[in-house]
Amino acid sequence: MTKILGMDYGKKMTGLSITDSKKKFAFGLDVIPTNKLMNFLKSFLNDNSIEKIVIGLPKKLNFEEFPIEKHIKKFIFKFCLQYPRISIERLDERFTSKIALYTIIKSGIKKKKRRKKEISHKISAIIILQSYLNKISLIL
């Protein structure tokens, strides 16, 4: 069965999440240095059946794009050339960082560990993917 991959793309680190086989729930997968993301995906996609990738769309409250968006678009272009059968969906990721921080605080993780961006990227990737799954389940 195919799964869906979620992505919180960052300049330095990218958080990844993945669905269960029924595409109902999102789970944290990994945090990868962004400069090694394509190498990771090459290996990962050989071993896993992924039908779609959901990538966060960073927008400001006034709907302007953040500067990171040009890097995301470049990544998507490169990815689509290499993997044309895997579709890409975008999902507004406003407030995912704040929700991730709130989740981290409520989970009881100590302040020192909270400073690590890896945790925030992974939780943001889960939030992005779960939000997408919730959205499509309403449509179905």
Domain 3-139 falls under CATH 3.30.420.140 = yes
Distance CA 30, CA 48 (A): 14
Task: Output the pTM of the full model.
Answer: 0.84
pLDDT for 32-64, tens place per residue? 999 999 999 999 999 999 999 999 998 877 867
Residue 120: per-residue pLDDT: 79
pLDDT for 57-111, tens place per residue? 988 778 677 789 999 999 999 999 999 999 999 998 766 666 666 565 666 666 5
Average pLDDT score over residue span 110-136 = 79
DSSP state, residue 66 = P
Give domain limits for the chain. Answer: 3-139
| Amino acid found at 52 | K
Phi, psi of 105 (to 5 degrees): -65, -45
Which strand (E) or helix (H) includes residue 15?
strand 13-19
Confidence of residue 140 (pLDDT cuts 50, 70, 90): low
Q: Report angle CA 79, 86, 98 to the nearest 5 degrees.
A: 75
Confidence of residue 27 (pLDDT cuts 50, 70, 90): very high
Residue 17: per-residue pLDDT: 97
SS3 state at 21: coil
Cβ atoms of 20 and 5 within 8 Å: the answer is: no
